Structure 1
Amino acid sequence: MQKYADYIVQIEIESLWSGTRHIVWNLDPKVNILSGINGVGKSTILNKVVKGLAQGGEFPSHMLRGVRIKVMPEDARWIRYDVIRSFDRPLMSGDLVSKIVDASVTTELDWQLYQLQRKYLDYQVNIGNRIIQTLSSGAPDAAQKAQEISRPKNKFQDMMDSLFAETGKRLIRTKNEIMFSQIGEELTPYQLSSGEKQMLAILLTVLIEDNQHYVLFMDEPEVSLHVDWQQRLIDLIVDLNPNVQIVLTTHSPAVIMNGWMDKVTEVSDITT
């Protein structure tokens, strides 16, 4: 049986930048923010770690591709993770475009949301089955337990309504897919602004992990986000899933303003 880690304890990278740098980064179980000037290697470090993980989250105990990852519990050999990148560039891959049925999917963020829509449907089926099973159990606290199962989804919906309130957008809660209403008009996620798409993609990614322990890697997630959303970002993620470990790079002071200053690591501090 696959044993999954709760969080990453340490990241070690050797032979970075043609063998001139060695990275040892001891991580906090909850929030980790990598900072530094342009070109210092924040994204390079993050990308190197992600490439060191096999598809599905398996990782070796020894150094592979110049990367060693220590986790808790120590004997785990798998880790659940997601990667969020921030650039809303046009889709370039012809093979990728040919797989997409919806013609309104035209950018990389659209493609992320397209995939998340499919996973969101699976997530709803999963929690629906668990609610039915719980209510059918006949336990005295069955109704309360059923409410707990649906609480994260309700919280996610409330978050989106709060974030989009200024523009009059609201999630349509009666639909299976993510859709919004605005002054009587229905909107798909692909009709949102880049910042709205970015926030939706992040929080939807967190939701469908279904309160499991996992690592969320984010490379400059503040791009396209209003400064108020930047300030709230980490709090929203941790509130939606307290079991997530966040590992992110950023240039924005706003991201750390809500009490996360002590979670910041400078690249120079972990480099020899």
Structure 2
Amino acid sequence: MDYIQNFDYHDLWNKYNVIWHHLNKDVNILVGINGKGKTTLLNVINEYYNSKPGKNNSKHIEATPLDCPVVYIQSADVPSDVKKKNSQLLENLLRVVLQNGKQESFFNYRMRALNYPEMAQRISERIELLFREIDGYFSQTNKHVEIDKVRNLLVFREQGGDVIELEMLSAGEKQLLYILLTVFLMDDKPTVLLMDEPELSLHIEWQEKLIKSIRLLNPKCQIILTTHSPSIFVSGWESKLVYIEDLFIKI
């Protein structure tokens, strides 16, 4: 299966059975007040699909078996210290941009065009699509994205021509770029994307466009996210809302 249809967790906190059936193949938006278990549920889903057998609470879980990866973008608001938060955002961003032996990166993806000429046109077209999406957000701040061909790096350039390195971007810009690049690197393949409060640090206008951009960059991506911001779902995604209280049944 290339998306999660059902996910049941029995005996959560020795208080609840979590019963979630008939998930949408495209978008699922978990809402509810703080402390009701939204982030916990995302953590459990991620752990179940990404942990080694025997280490994922599988005895408590009945869920759709998957033949696709599960990617988890955690809340950008975890570090309380602003410097630590910015440092973590930059670390996340550089991991998906630079040459990286452990996982896919934009650098490695772009290099495929040189190593596999038959893939060059598709790679070029996908990069053009990505850059159009990024520029659609960053044009508000008079920046546009480009490739520094000497260093083979992503950089931004201001209207006046000055280059802006990734390190100099704001927290919201880093967060947005990290999300879009993560989805881009799925390479149009079926993937489950978990996101915990992706709106943090993002402008209101960016929040309104985020789901549409993710679906454009990978239409085969199943999105499961938590949010407290109506701006995330105001642009036609209201029918995808799931209230966390409806999933928790007292034992």
TM-score by structure 1 length? 0.79
1:108–1:67 distance in 2 versus 1, CA, 3 Å: farther
The amino acid of 2:134's aligned partner reads M
Structure 1 residue matching 2:147: 3-state secondary structure = coil
Q: Which residue does the alignment assign to 2:134? A: 160
Q: In structure 1, what is the Cα distance between the partners aligned to 2:76 and 2:32?
A: 19
Q: Unaligned regions of 5+ residues in structure 2, if any? A: 99-104
Tell me whether 1:41 sits opposite 2:18 in the alignment.
no
Q: In structure 2, what is the Cα distance between the partners aligned to 1:129 and 1:195?
A: 34
Tell me whether 1:29 sits opposite 2:25 in the alignment.
yes
Tell me whether 1:81 sits opposite 2:67 in the alignment.
no
Structure 2 residue matching 1:251: 3-state secondary structure = coil
Contact 2:20 2:247 in 1 (8 A): yes
Tell me whether 1:197 sits opposite 2:171 in the alignment.
no
Contact 1:59 1:69 in 2 (8 A): no
Q: Unaligned regions of 5+ residues in structure 1, if any? A: 93-104, 135-145
1:124–1:214 distance in 2 versus 1, CA, 3 Å: same
Tell me whether 1:10 sits opposite 2:6 in the alignment.
yes
Contact 1:86 1:198 in 2 (8 A): no
TM-score by structure 2 length? 0.85
Q: CA deviation at 1:147?
A: 3.8
Q: Which residue does the alignment assign to 1:179? A: 155
Q: Which residue does the alignment assign to 2:238? A: 261
1:196–1:269 distance in 2 versus 1, CA, 3 Å: same
Instruction: Number of aligned residue pairs: give it.
Output: 236
Structure 2 residue matching 1:52: 3-state secondary structure = helix
Q: In structure 2, what is the Cα distance between the partners aligned to 1:219 and 1:90?
A: 14
Higher relative contact order (CA 8 A, sep 6+): 2
Q: In structure 2, what is the Cα distance between the partners aligned to 1:269 and 1:170?
A: 43
Q: In structure 2, what is the Cα distance between the partners aligned to 1:63 and 1:9?
A: 19
Q: Which residue does the alignment assign to 2:95? A: 115
Q: In structure 1, what is the Cα distance between the partners aligned to 2:78 and 2:143?
A: 24
Tell me whether 1:125 sits opposite 2:111 in the alignment.
yes
1:208–1:184 distance in 2 versus 1, CA, 3 Å: same
Contact 2:49 2:70 in 1 (8 A): no
Q: CA deviation at 1:157?
A: 0.5
The amino acid of 1:178's aligned partner reads L
